[in-house]
Every structure is written in structure tokens, then in C-alpha cells.
């Protein structure tokens, strides 16, 4: 039999063992809870991040009207364009076309590379956390706004379908603009230049184009498909080097303001956009409709799918020559692929 | 009256291990004998008594103070013994060579705890009775509990316990007469 001391010793030993066992069990439970909590948090973060991206994409995805929609519109309305004279410009960046404007949008992948040569002082990549997602952005370009004297650095994430852009003030590092609008991202111009400089830049770019570039951008090639008898001598064919080139409808708002407005303002000898008082909404609608009709026919004749969202800009101006209102409507010839950048058609619908 | 309740309070509320040590010192032997009346094996009874003290030290149950500390402690011991018997329903076989040793251990404990020669003889006659009679007679005549306290410890009502005491006493008388022993307290 155990003595009192022996039993007490055994009792206290077993109590201590029990305490140790309980501590270990608690530790294990806490570890398991931490693992489970981390798992739940990571799932929540990933899900919310995905939801945010999905939300942004859903919110900003362009609503593309099909050619059938346009056909319905056309068939339901009798065109009333007898009094309009329509001129069509295939805008692809010639000196002549560029020369019509004070500024030419200079952009596209090539210009981004060219311009970014001047900004070696900046880091090539940065990492930013936006909407809870940390991502690395590559330097794309630096552009100066000659009006506000600001220099903006543009960074872009490389994921094709996320196409995120950051616009950062070079002077302060402040993010002044951020977009995440899917494939069809808004791309403001890299910089604006004056007429002579624009011509020089256009020449330089055209001279640097490879055969591949030319085949991609050559409107003649596109329009010749299915029809060889088009007489291009009647048109002014030029290159427009637009920013990124997609120029889909998200971008056209920028173009309306910067390209259509600012450009024509300096063509004082030809157009005067300060006298718009006699132009009614109805007149503008008719002019746009006429241009759309013409665009639709042109695409149909040449086997190109007409996409309503290709309209980049519509600008009503007056002719300085005879005072007639002129509707300038610009379409992109780019197919869904953004590689067909920079191909535009300018319709000049002059009201008689 | 022992100081069980105050010692336990000292251990439970102030963490003073001496409190538990005093309880073990004071109640160990009596508890072992009581549990032995259940399991009929002094070593097993000793292990169960140790389990009872360990339970006091780990779970630290609250003594509601309804009865004496001894009653409460024996009730815990009884529950542990019942659990043990439930887990091991078959009788434990004791090797023949261990029997003498077990009896010697029990007698040694009797000498230490019961002390009186006459009581020790009566206690030995208890082994020949049914377990329930052993338990009730041990609690009343050796531990000095009242019938009410005995009923509480055994988990029976008062009337049943009174009947049990009556029958156990008669059975012990018969057994003592066989051995030509007289125990005037019966």
C-alpha cells in the first residue's frame, strides 16, 4: 500500500501531467483555428478581388451594337440625305491628312517606346495595391500636357484582359487617374504637338514601319478585299497615329474633345467651330445618320463587318469657305483585334 | 470533524497544494476501505481513491456544502467506483499467490486505520457479506455517518437505506454468531 506521501506525490504528478496535456491540446486547437482563419481570409480576399475586377469589367465593357441592329435602324428609317454632300477620307496618317490639323495624336506602341526613351530617370516598374490587389505595373510612357504644364507618367499592368493603367503626376507621384476597364481601355494621347512637329513625327513613323506594319495598317488592303475596283484617287489617304490605336468608343470621347475640337480650332482658313448657333440637334442627327449610312454601305461593299461602336467621334463645325455646317464623323476601321490600330475613316458631311 | 472543507477551499481558491495534501492525509485510508467494499480488491480501491484525489485536483468540482466534506468526497469516490465497475463488469481474477499479499496489505491498513482489535475482527467479518451490506455498515459503524449521510453517499433514499441498514445489521449478527463473536454496538 502507498503511504500518504507516496499517494500525494502520485496525485500531484498526475495533476501536472493533466495540465500539460491540456495546454498542448489548447495550442493545437489555436493552431488549427489560425490555419482555418487564414484560409477563410485568403478565400475572402481572392473572392472580393475577383469580384471587384469582375465588377469593373462588367461596368465598363463596351456595349457593342451588332450590324443587325444597325441594319434594323437603317431599314426602319428612310434616309433623308439628299441635301448632304459626303466626302470620305480614309485616315491613315499621311502628311496631307495630318497637315489639316493643328495637332496629331501621337501614340501607338511605337511612340510609347520612342517617348519612353526620354524618361530613363524614372523606375521602369512600380508595385501598387489598388482595390486590395497588389500588382506590378510597367512604365509605358511619359507625356506632357502643353496646356497644364503637367508631366504624367503612365504605367500599365501586363495582363492582357486586365489592362490596368495608372496615371501618375511626375512631379508629385500622385495617382491622378486609374483605369481597369478590360480590353477596351481608355487611352488618352501621349502628348499633343503642333502641326509641323506632327507632320515630322508622322513621316518618321511611316518611314519606320515594316512591311508587316504596313499590311496591318494599309486601308487599301483592307478595302480591296472582295472588290478591286475602288478608286482611291478620289480619297485622301493618310495615316493617323492614334494613341494605342484601338480608338473604340470609350476613347472617342477623348478624341472628340482633343482631336476634333482642338484640331479644327486652328484651321481658321477652312472651318470655324465658334458659330454653332444655327445647328440644331436634328441637323446633327441627320448628318451623323448620313455618315453611318455611308459607312455601312462602304463596309458592306468591301466585306467588312460594320460595328456601330467603331464611331470614334462626331463633330459639327462650319466651313470657313462657305459657312455651311459640316459634320465630321470618324470611324475606326479596326476590327475587334486591337492590332488593327490607327485605321480610321473620316466622313465629312457638309450641309448645303 | 475534519478540516476537509476548509482545506479543499484553500486548495481550490488559493491554489495551496498543502490543502489537497491534508485532504489526502486525512481521508485516504477511509476512502480506500469504503471503495474496497465496492470492488473487493484493496489495490483497486487504492487506485480508485487516488483517481478521486486527482479529480479534485484537475476538475476542482465545487462542494455545494449540503453535507459534510467526507460525505461529498465519498460520493465522488463512489461514482468513480461505479464507473470502474461499469467499465470492468467481469470480476478481476486475482492470482492465488497475490491473495496472501492482498490480505496482508488490508490487515496492515486495518491496524493503522481502525486500530481497535474488536472492530478489526468485525471488519473482517464484513468481507463475507453482500457488497451493499458491507458499504452501509462501513459508513455507519466505522465512518460514523448518519443514515441520512449514508443515503446521500450511496445515492439511495432514506427509507431504502434504513431497510438496508436493518438487513445488513441482522446479516452481520448471524455472521458474528457463527464465529462466536459479540459486538455490542450492533
B79 and B129 together in one domain: no
| Same-domain status, B40 and B123 | no
DSSP helix, strand, coil percent of chain B (3-state; round to 5): 75, 0, 25
Q: Give which of B141, B146, B176 is closest to B161, Cα–Cα.
A: B146
pLDDT tens-digit readout, A185-194: 233 333 434 4
Give the domain range for residue B160: 116-186
What confidence score (pLDDT) does residue A223 get?
A: 35
- Number of residues that this document lists for chain A: 352
Please, which residues have CB within 8 angstroms of residue A289's CB and are 6 or more apart in sequence?
A77, A79, A81
Among B79, B113, B147, the domain-final residue is B113
State whether B78 and B163 are in the same domain: no
Cβ of B24 within 8 Å of Cβ of A7? The answer is: yes
Residue B156, domain CATH: 1.10.10.10
Q: Does A25 touch chain B (CB under 8 A)?
A: no
* More confident call, A18 vs A166: A18
Mean pLDDT of chain A: 49
Domain count, chain B: 2
Q: Say yes or no: A10 contacts chain B, CB-CB below 8 A.
A: yes
Q: Where are the beta strands (DSSP E) in A276-333?
A: 311-319, 325-332
Comparing CA positions, the residue from B94, B111, B102 lying closest to residue B42 is B102
Its sign, for the CA torsion B82, B87, B93, B95, is negative
- Closest to B77 measured CA to CA, from B44, B43, B39, B35: B35
The answer to whether residue B54 neighbours chain A at the CB level (below 8 Å) is yes
Q: In terms of domains, do B152 and B85 share one?
A: no
- Is the ipTM value over 0.90, yes or no? no
Average the pLDDT over each of B38-42, B90-94, B154-158 and give the range with the smallest value: B90-94
At A331 the pLDDT is 56
Here the cell at position B80 is 468513480
Q: Is A20 on the interface with B (CB under 8 A)?
A: no
Whether residues B99 and B121 fall in one domain: no
Which among A43-47, A122-126, B60-64 has the top mean pLDDT?
A: B60-64
Distances (CA, A) of A2 to A10, A39, B28, B142: 10, 53, 10, 21
CA-nearest residue to B51 within chain A is A11
B24–A1 CB contact, under 8 Å: no
B58 in reach of chain A (CB within 8 A): yes
Indicate whether B107 and B129 sit together in one domain. no
Q: Are residues B83 and B143 in the same domain?
A: no
Q: Chain A residues with CB inside 8 Å of B49's CB?
A: 7
CA distance B47 to chain A (A): 9
**SS3 call for A155:** strand
CB A112 within 8 A of CB A326: no
Q: Chain A residues with CB inside 8 Å of B60's CB?
A: none
Residue B94 burial (10 A CB sphere; 0-12, 13-18, 19+): middle
Greater confidence, B104 or A105? Answer: B104
How sure is the predictor about B53, in pLDDT bands with cuts at 50, 70 and 90?
very high
Distance (Å) from the alpha carbon of B50 to chain A's nearest alpha carbon: 6
Q: What percent of chain A has pLDDT over 90?
A: 0
- The sign of the torsion formed by the CA atoms of A168, A189, A313, A160 equals negative
A117 pLDDT more than 50: no
**End-of-domain residue from the set B113, B136, B156:** B113
pLDDT of A150 reads 56
The tens digit of pLDDT for each residue in A140-180 reads 666 554 334 456 676 777 654 445 667 777 667 777 666 54
Instruction: Give A308's strand partners.
Output: none
Tally the C-alpha atoms within 13 A of residue B162's C-alpha that lie toward its C-beta: 4
B35 and B63 assigned to the same domain: yes
A291-341 pLDDT, tens digit each: 556 656 665 665 555 444 444 455 555 454 555 555 555 555 444 333 333
Instruction: Tell me: do B70 and B122 sit in the same domain.
Output: no
B148 and B63 share one domain: no
Does B46 contact A at CB distance below 8 Å? yes
Whether A263 and A330 have beta carbons less than 8 Å apart is answered as no
**Is B7 in the same domain as B99?**
yes
Contact (CB<8Å) B54/A8: no
Residue A42's φ and ψ, nearest 5 degrees, are -65, -40
Are B23 and B93 found together in one domain?
yes
Amino acid at each position: 500500500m502507498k503511504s500518504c506521501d507516496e499517494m500525494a506525490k502520485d496525485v500531484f504528478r498526475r495533476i501536472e501531467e493533466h495540465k500539460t496535456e491540456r495546454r498542448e491540446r489548447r495550442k493545437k486547437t489555436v493552431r488549427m483555428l489560425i490555419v482555418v482563419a487564414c484560409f477563410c481570409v485568403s478565400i475572402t480576399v481572392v473572392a472580393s478581388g475577383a469580384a471587384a475586377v469582375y465588377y469593373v469589367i462588367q461596368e465598363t465593357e463596351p456595349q457593342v451594337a451588332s450590324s443587325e441592329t444597325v441594319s434594323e435602324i437603317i431599314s426602319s428609317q428612310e434616309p433623308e440625305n439628299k441635301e448632304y454632300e459626303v466626302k470620305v477620307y480614309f485616315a491613315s496618317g499621311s502628311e496631307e491628312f495630318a497637315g489639316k490639323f493643328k495637332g496629331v495624336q501621337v501614340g501607338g506602341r511605337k511612340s510609347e517606346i520612342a517617348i519612353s526613351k526620354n524618361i530613363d530617370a524614372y523606375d521602369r516598374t512600380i508595385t501598387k495595391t489598388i482595390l486590395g490587389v497588389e500588382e506590378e505595373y510597367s512604365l509605358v510612357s511619359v507625356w506632357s500636357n502643353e496646356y497644364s504644364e503637367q508631366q504624367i507618367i503612365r504605367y500599365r499592368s501586363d495582363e492582357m484582359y486586365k489592362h490596368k493603367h495608372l496615371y501618375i503626376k511626375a512631379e508629385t507621384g500622385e495617382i491622378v487617374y486609374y483605369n481597369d476597364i478590360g480590353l477596351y481601355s481608355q487611352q488618352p494621347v501621349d502628348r499633343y504637338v503642333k502641326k509641323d512637329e506632327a507632320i515630322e513625327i508622322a513621316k518618321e513613323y511611316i518611314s519606320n514601319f515594316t512591311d508587316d506594319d504596313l499590311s496591318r495598317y494599309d486601308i487599301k488592303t483592307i478595302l480591296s478585299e472582295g472588290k478591286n475596283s475602288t478608286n482611291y484617287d478620289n480619297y485622301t489617304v493618310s495615316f493617323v497615329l492614334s494613341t494605342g490605336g484601338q480608338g473604340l468608343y470609350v476613347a472617342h470621347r477623348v478624341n472628340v474633345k482633343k482631336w476634333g475640337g482642338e484640331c479644327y480650332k486652328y484651321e481658321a482658313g477652312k472651318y470655324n467651330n465658334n458659330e454653332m448657333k444655327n445647328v440644331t440637334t436634328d441637323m446633327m442627327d441627320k448628318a451623323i445618320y448620313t455618315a453611318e449610312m455611308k459607312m455601312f454601305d462602304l463596309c458592306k461593299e468591301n466585306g467588312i463587318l460594320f460595328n456601330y461602336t467603331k464611331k470614334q467621334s462626331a463633330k459639327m463645325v462650319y466651313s470657313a469657305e462657305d459657312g455651311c455646317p459640316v459634320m465630321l464623323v470618324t470611324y475606326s476601321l479596326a476590327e475587334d483585334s486591337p492590332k488593327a490600330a490607327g485605321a480610321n475613316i473620316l466622313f465629312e458631311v457638309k450641309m448645303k | 470533524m475534519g478540516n476537509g472543507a476548509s482545506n479543499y477551499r484553500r486548495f481550490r481558491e488559493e491554489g495551496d497544494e498543502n490543502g489537497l495534501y491534508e485532504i489526502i492525509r486525512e481521508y485516504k485510508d477511509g476512502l480506500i476501505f469504503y471503495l474496497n467494499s465496492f470492488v473487493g480488491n484493496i489495490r483497486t480501491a487504492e487506485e480508485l481513491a487516488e483517481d478521486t484525489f486527482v479529480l479534485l485536483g484537475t476538475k476542482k468540482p465545487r462542494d455545494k456544502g449540503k453535507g459534510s466534506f467526507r460525505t461529498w468526497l465519498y460520493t465522488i469516490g463512489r461514482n468513480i467506483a461505479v464507473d470502474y465497475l461499469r467499465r470492468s463488469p467481469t470480476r478481476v481474477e486475482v492470482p492465488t499467490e497475490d491473495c496472501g499479499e492482498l490480505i496482508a496489505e488490508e490487515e496492515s491498513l486495518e491496524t493503522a486505520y481502525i486500530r481497535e482489535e474488536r472492530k478489526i475482527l468485525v471488519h473482517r467479518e464484513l468481507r463475507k457479506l453482500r457488497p451493499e451490506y458491507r458499504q452501509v455498515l462501513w459508513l455507519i459503524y466505522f465512518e460514523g455517518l448518519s443514515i441520512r449521510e449514508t443515503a446521500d453517499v450511496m445515492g439511495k433514499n432514506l427509507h431504502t437505506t434504513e431497510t438496508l441498514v436493518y438487513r445488513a445489521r441482522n446479516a452481520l449478527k448471524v455472521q458474528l454468531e457463527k464465529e462466536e463473536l459479540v459486538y455490542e454496538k450492533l
